[in-house]
Structures are given as structure tokens and as C-alpha cells.
A and B are shown apart, each in its own frame.
Chain A
């Protein structure tokens, strides 16, 4: 019971279990969550139709939006300090000082890219892309063989728009459809892309922002229990994705997230077998973090595997 005087070692971290990886981060799968990574237009994390920009935390948010010419954009100072909104050279608007709670609105008529900043906070800036035509596609990849719905708006007086596509592997824009514009200015097109492609709408001089539509291969995955403590999952992709990396993921309840447990590659016949050591009940899926040949990331449906009986 006698205690000698000790020089204790460094790093008396709480001893509650295995230490984390040196990087300090839980390993995170690349690619999809729940089957569908979000797709969006050029640099626009904001969904189509966002017309209000906040300033909380001294940041314009969303920092980049896409709007239709003639729409009103409103900046709201929901921060606790004074800001202003000033267009960079040629932009032609300046809100003057905005106290917390104040707002400023502006209608942007001409197609183009507008950069603006708060003159009081040098790092606070944003961008607005104004297009004369608006076009939006699906928010996630479309399974191969299905139609993708593109919808848009055109200014008054436009009777029809041309839908153009750019294949993901390059080339030139080519017209794929001519669609009429309804009286309220809306239009829709339903192409069936064979591979991921970018679309835009055109009417004379006017053009919309490009919108990307990802096409994903359909993944089928079949799990089998092998022996007491092992699960084997056979996966195949259609259209074929030979050489694509495949990741077996398990749903981790504590992380509320899918986590990778095994990796492989689809063979020349677009198939792979992935294995997991587990006797427990599992919820699994297989994802392709990157498609090959212009296909988008893909995910199989979730599989329930009962515990070893």
C-alpha cells in the first residue's frame, strides 16, 4: 500500500476503451448516404427557388444562388451586427448600412454573374448567377433506364424552349427535345439518359444554368450466412460496371450512419463477393462510390440479415 513518488507518464486520457485512429476521425465512406447523393447546378448548394439570403454569423448564406432574371432577391440581416450589401464593379447595387433585422431587396434583370460583398467585413461575400431561363433536374441520381424529369420556367412571351444535352464524357451541346412553354411560363422535359449528362434549356439568346443528371447503375445484392459467424454478399451491377470499386456497408445505429466494413471491385462480369465477419443481426448495403464510364455513384437496397440461429 505504500506509494512511491511517481513521475506519471504524459497523456492521462480517460481510459474508457480503445483509442481512436491517429487521424482522430471516424472512417467515413466516400459516396452516398441513403442511396442518392445530391446533385446541383454550378456551385449552388441552395435549392432552386431560394431567393432570401441571410447573414447570420457574418456569412452570406446561401453564399451562391441561381435565380431567374426578373426575380427579386432579398437579403435579410439576421445577424447581431451591422452589415451592408455592395455589388462588385458593374453590379450596380448597394444597400447602404443594414441594421440587424433590416432587409434589402433587388430585382436582377440581366443574365449574368453578380458578385457582392459586405464592405464592413472583408471576408463576407456572395455570388448570384442570373439566368434568363430556369431549369432544374432531379436531386439525386436516376437509375439507368428511367426517365429524368426536368422542369423549368421561361420569361413571358416564350412559346417553346429547346432542351440541349452534353454527354458526361465531353463533346458538344446537342438538341434533344423541343418543348412548349405553358401560359404560366413553366415547361417540362422527360429524357431517358443512358449515362450521366448535363442539360440546359435555350430560347433564342437566352439560356438556363446547366443542370447535371446523374445516372446510376442498378445494384442487386444477395446476402448469405456462411457458417456461424460470416456473411457473404454477392453483388452485381446493370449496366455493367467492370472495375468499379464496391463497398459493403453496415448501418451503425450509434453513428446513425452507414459505415464501410469491406471493400472489393466488380470483376469483368460486373460482379463481386464481399464478406463480413458477424453472427449478429445486420442491416447491410453495397455502394459504388464512383461509377465507371460516366455513371453516378450507386447504392443497392438495404438488406436485412438475421442473426445466426
Chain B
């Protein structure tokens, strides 16, 4: 073969080999637990029922996860729909993750940690407090840091929660110290839009990402034709039934549904391709949660 022909042949073949042996990535994150003065319902009302809310119940001092630049240089900007929830950690099966955690909670002075569902890790990265067994990673004091390492296996595909599992776990989770991990299959197409909705009690209210009532809960957006993935998670004491108007998806066994139940620490992802515009409600269909305010709007435009 001529040199040119060889070069062309290699140029065609090598990328095919690379796809077959696509290399796993290593993702490195810096995430701090930071105190925040949080407003659960900035518009101060239940717009659907025309009811004013008691301002005393709408604010709280709490702690959230905050992504930062390398070595905790600067806090990174937050996505408008993120609410109180920590940064979305994304990757694919086979990837490795290195998460540096810093406890910046000088307000309450409590220890915190990070505990990840769904992924593979050694005990030192478990992050859950077992006196006599667990180490510093389960009880990171204010001002201290710990690095967690884990890998996503083929059995880690899906969406999972991560959250505090230190001795102050109960109050942390009630205050929004949680986030999501989203793991795709190798070669799986990434969605055009990915929404993360944490359904959880927050203070006196049922919240989505720490916000309650329409106008305060995340306003989610997509365009007709886009592929949407919705990650739904819950933590706390209650069961919730996630429902989106105007849409339905299929269960793993192929049966269509438009409402799915989840209990504490459960999570799922659903996908569809948007085919028509509209302003759709998404909410927990447990009546008392919906009325007390686990409800938001999802706008699809052309």
C-alpha cells in the first residue's frame, strides 16, 4: 500500500478501535458544606390558592453542598433550578471519582460527611458514622477536609443520592444537605436536558429542591425535539408519588405510567423526547404534599 493509503486506512480504523476501548475518565470535584440563609418561598405565597404564607416559617439557616474550583479556591455559580441541592455529579460506568470535601459549617459547628449511594468504594470512603469503626471521613469537623474515592460500575448506571451521614445526619437531611449522582452507560447518549428534583420535607413545607409552591420551585425548561432526562430522588421520612402532566414514560418492564412512587433514599430517572409545547405541572401526587407545596412548572417551548 502507498503511504497515503496507509495513512488513510489508519485514520479510518484507529477511531473505531478507540470507540471500542473508550477510556474511563477520572472526575475530580471540590465540594464544601457551607452555611446558607435559605428562603423556602421567595414569592411569599401559595399562588394557586391565593394564600399568603407566614413569613416566620419561610426562612431557615441551614447547610448545603457547594461545588468549588480546584482546591476550594472559589465557590462555583449555582444553577437556577438547583435550589438547596448540591452539585450534580455526572459520569459513566467505569469512571473513577475523587471528591474532596471540606466542612465549612462554622455556623452550627457540626461535623458533616458525604455518603454516596450506588457506586463502589472502600470502607474509608463510606462516609457514615459507626463509632468504633468509621474514621475521619464519617465525621469531618468544621475546617477539616476529607477525600472520598469511588468508581461507577456497570451496576451503578442510573441516578443516586449522596448526603450527609455524620452524627448530625438527621438535621442535615431535613435542611437539604444532599445531592445527586448521575451515571450513564458507556456509549449512552447524553440527554439534551437533565433535571434533578429532590422531593423532601423542608421545615414546615413539602419541598422540591428546598423550595415550596409554584414560582419558587424550580421552573424547568425544554424545547420541542429535545431529549429530556428527569432524575427524581427523595430523602427523609415520607413516600412520594412523582407525576408530570402531559407526559408518560415506560417502566423497566415496558408498562407505561405517569406517576411513580419512591420512598426515602430511592431514586429513578425517566426519559422522553419532547413532542409538543406547553406549561406542565410536575408534583408529588400525595394530596397533602401537593397542597403544601411540592409542585412546580415545566415549560416546553418551540
Give A contacts to B, CB under 8 Å.
1-14, 16-20, 22, 24-26, 28, 33, 38, 45, 56-57, 63, 252, 254-257
Contact = CB atoms under 8 A, between A and B. Distances in A.
A256 B214 contact: yes
Contact of A14 (B29, B56, B76, B196): B196
B297 interface: yes
A145 B52 CA distance: 27
Interface of B: 14-15, 18-19, 22-23, 25-31, 36, 39, 42-45, 47, 52, 54-56, 67-70, 75-82, 87-90, 193-196, 204, 213-216, 219-221, 297, 299
Contacts of A19: 77-80
A11 B13 CA distance: 35
Nearest to A252: B215
Contact of A11 (B45, B67, B81): B67
A10 B29 contact: yes
A1 B195 contact: no
Given A1-B18, A13-B79, A33 B196 contact: no
Contacts of B82: 13-14, 20
Contacts of A28: 39, 42-43
Contacts of B42: 25-26, 28, 255, 257
Given A12-B87, A20-B77, A33-B45, 9 more contacts: A7-B27, A10-B30, A11-B29, A11-B68, A14-B196, A16-B81, A22-B77, A45-B56, A255-B42
B88 A13 contact: yes
Contacts of B22: 3
Choose among B36, B43, B214, B297 the residue with the greatest number of A CB atoms under 10 Å from its CB.
Answer: B43
B242 to A, nearest CB: 18
A254 B211 CA distance: 14
Given A10-B28, A14-B196, A20 B78 contact: yes
Given A11-B68, A254-B297, A2 B87 contact: no
Nearest to B229: A14
